Amino acid sequence: MYTETQIVHNNTKTTVDGALDGTGEMVINVGPQHPATHGVLHLVITLNGETIKKLEPHLGYIHRSIEKMCESLSYRQFIYVTSRMDYLSSHINNHACALTVEKGLQLEIPPRAQVIRVLMDELTRIASHELWWGAMAMDLGAFTPFFYAFRERETITDIMEETCGARLTMNYMVPGGVMYDIHPNFQRRVKDFITLFKSKIDEYNDLVTGNIIFQNRMKGVGKLSAEDAISFGCTGPVARGSGVKSDIRKLFPYEVYDKVEFDEILETEGDSFARYMVRIREMHQSVRIIEQLIDNIPEGDFQAKTKAVLKLPKGEFYTRVETARGELGVYIVSEGGTTPYRIKFRSPGFSNLSALEHMVVGSKLGDLMATMGTLDLVIPDIDR
Amino acid sequence: MFIKEYISDIYHAVKSLLTGMKTTGGYFIRPGEIITQQYPENRADLNLSERFRGEVVMIHDENNEHACTGCTACELACPNATIKIITKFDVSPDGKKKKALDTFVYHLELCTMCNLCVEACPTDAIKMAQNFEHSVYDRSKLTKKLNQPGSKIREGVE
């Protein structure tokens, strides 16, 4: 065991050594307790003056072995744990797991459940992007946008609370459909929200998007070319900001995404501002999807009839969905029993983080926050 | 040409800043749009949805009777071992032994409010209640016994 003095001594020594070898490089730690990393992400940065020479993310501070935990839970039980991975799009995580189990069971989902699921996914996407927008502005020093974002997000969490029973970790998607039918107030409140949201989105643009200081800090920062985005495995708004078509809803449509009209948002610049604009414009597309579906929820069952104990046939099953951060893949290996033999989650945050070093090396330390903010990292999603 | 660009840049910069300030300043003079809720001062009129999941409770009617048969479906459905059901054998007047609930132990400190136990219950004996203020000074107080003292199973529930 190190004592406290020893650790201080070792750190001092490294810094002195670094300075003595003539390079003038300095190693600093951003995180794991740092307000701008939104969690326990630890970045070890080698600096030359103010220029970033090397960046190394250290992971594992919030590793809870969710994949291993799922191996001891049944196919109904493991879904609730996945709300805790990417907690800002918990509905979509649950959705991915439910879809994989349904694929294994070859279960037909009632049309009503499909539409409810898509509505919930898109509401979650808007809520997630709004939180990102507020946190992003706060990383750059603007405090007010955070409250404005949470004001609209609160309306969505209220809708979720009324229909799903919880505000953040809903556990609403079950294999075969959804847990309950929608609340009688659901349609009215979602329409109210859309009216409110459309009137407030201009405020977002006035306050942050058009701001000259914000634009100067974002434009030309954290460049990622389309080739690099593909080779790092970036998905979601990070890849689309570089002009890579990667929307799973368009490429591999699930549920009713092939029946609704929406555009895949693409920006070609590949800098932080492009990724910012992708998310802002995606919120409009989510509103468009909700508007098409909210009055057309088909009548019928909200849950397919399933057996009390679910058993997946022997084999391997993989599904992917588009979360607010990118592609989430769920891979289940089944031995034919009631619990999975192995579960692997392909989380979007991990791949997006791997591109961070490439994006910031050579730029100033201040640009790190402007770049990392647009990656929209959720640390439990990376560590799992 | 350079001076023209320079002045135009300044004009656009100042304009963008003023647009943002107009938005924030607008709320400053329209206090009616403030939506902050003052918790805990507003505890009396807090409106929680009837589906809100705060804790698991057992439904008792006015005769202090519940519908739990002690089948342990909820115990098996729980992912965190939150529920432990202890059963006993009731002996009816004609000498038949029947399995019945003795104690429904509920560990609130382990519960994640996933609602799977309520979904699994075949007799709708338990439900989710809206109470969310669970803080106590001693951890042992979070382990609860859900069936009330002296309660018994309702007639006709199998």
ipTM of the complex model: 0.82
The sheet that has A315-322: what strands, in order across it? A315-322, A327-334, A342-346
DSSP structure class, residue A206: I
What average pLDDT does chain A have? Answer: 85
pLDDT digits 0-9 by tens, B104-124? 899 988 888 888 888 888 888
In A129-264 the beta strands, taken as DSSP E runs, fall at: 173-174, 177-178
Residue A330 backbone zone (phi > 0: left; psi -120 to 50: alpha; other: beta): beta
- What burial class does residue A299 get, using C-beta atoms within 10 Å of its C-beta: 0-12 exposed, 13-18 middle, 19+ buried? exposed
Distance CA A302, CA A285 (A): 25
- Residue A46: strand, helix, or coil: strand
- Residue A72: strand, helix, or coil: coil
A-B CB pairs within 8 A amount to 65
Query: Looking at residues B16-38, what average pLDDT do you find?
Result: 81
In chain A the beta strands, taken as DSSP E runs, fall at: 25-30, 42-48, 51-58, 173-174, 177-178, 315-322, 327-334, 342-346
Token representation of residue A330: 């769920």
> Which residues in A lie closer than 8 A to residue B128 (C-beta atoms)?
165
Task: State phi, psi for A244 to the nearest 5 degrees.
Answer: -95, 125
Of A67, A54, A57, nearest to A37 by C-alpha is A57
| CA dihedral sign of residues A279, A154, A123, B119 | positive
Q: Which residue of A has its CA nearest to B51?
A: A165
pLDDT-derived band at B10, boundaries 50, 70, 90: confident
pLDDT value of residue A126: 92
Least trusted range by pLDDT, from A2-16, A219-233, B79-93? A2-16
How many angstroms away from the CA of B118 is the closest CA of chain A? Answer: 11
Query: Least CB-CB distance to A165: which of B12, B51, B79?
Result: B51
The domain locations on chain B are: 2-33, 48-153
Paired sense of beta strands B55-58 and A173-174, if any: unpaired
pLDDT value of residue B137: 93
Measured CA to CA in angstroms, residue A276 lies from A203, A205, A208, A375, B118 at distances of 16, 11, 11, 9, 42
- What burial class does residue A154 get, using C-beta atoms within 10 Å of its C-beta: 0-12 exposed, 13-18 middle, 19+ buried? middle
Domain B48-153 - what CATH class?
Answer: alpha beta
Q: Is the peptide bond before A32 cis (omega within 30 degrees of 0)?
A: yes
pLDDT digits 0-9 by tens, A244-262? 888 888 888 888 888 888 8
pLDDT value of residue B70: 83
Please count the residues of chain A: 384
pLDDT value of residue A2: 45
| CA dihedral sign of residues A186, B53, A88, A329 | negative
Helix boundaries (H) for A222-303: 226-231, 236-241, 248-251, 272-294
pLDDT-derived band at B26, boundaries 50, 70, 90: confident
Q: Which residues of A touch B (CB under 8 A)?
A: 73, 76-78, 80-81, 144, 151, 154, 161-166, 169, 171, 174, 179-180, 183, 203, 206-208, 210-213
Of A321, A337, A302, nearest to A254 by C-alpha is A321
Query: Are B54 and B130 in contact, with CB atoms under 8 Å apart?
Result: yes
How many angstroms away from the CA of A268 is the closest CA of chain B? Answer: 25
Least trusted range by pLDDT, from A30-34, A67-71, A82-86, A316-320? A30-34
Residue A331: CB partners within 8 Å, gap ≥ 6?
A: A100, A316, A317, A318, A342, A343, A344, A345, A346
pLDDT-derived band at B95, boundaries 50, 70, 90: confident
Q: Under an 8 A CB cutoff, do B115 and A208 touch?
A: no
pLDDT value of residue A37: 66
- CATH fold of A66-383, please? Cytochrome-c3 Hydrogenase; chain B (1.10.645)
Long-range contacts, stretch B136-142, CB < 8 angstroms, 24+ apart? B139/B109, B142/B107, B142/B108, B142/B109
Name the segment(s) of chain A with CATH classification 1.10.645.10: 66-383
pLDDT value of residue A41: 85
- Asked if pLDDT for residue A36 goes beyond 80, the answer is no
In sequence order, what are the beta bridge partners of A43? A30, A57
pLDDT-derived band at A35, boundaries 50, 70, 90: low
In A148-285 the beta strands, taken as DSSP E runs, fall at: 173-174, 177-178
Measured CA to CA in angstroms, residue A257 lies from A123, A169, A238, A251, B106 at distances of 14, 24, 21, 10, 41
Q: Under an 8 A CB cutoff, do B77 and A77 touch?
A: yes
Of A198, A191, A200, nearest to A119 by C-alpha is A191
By percentage, how much of chain A surpasses pLDDT 90?
11
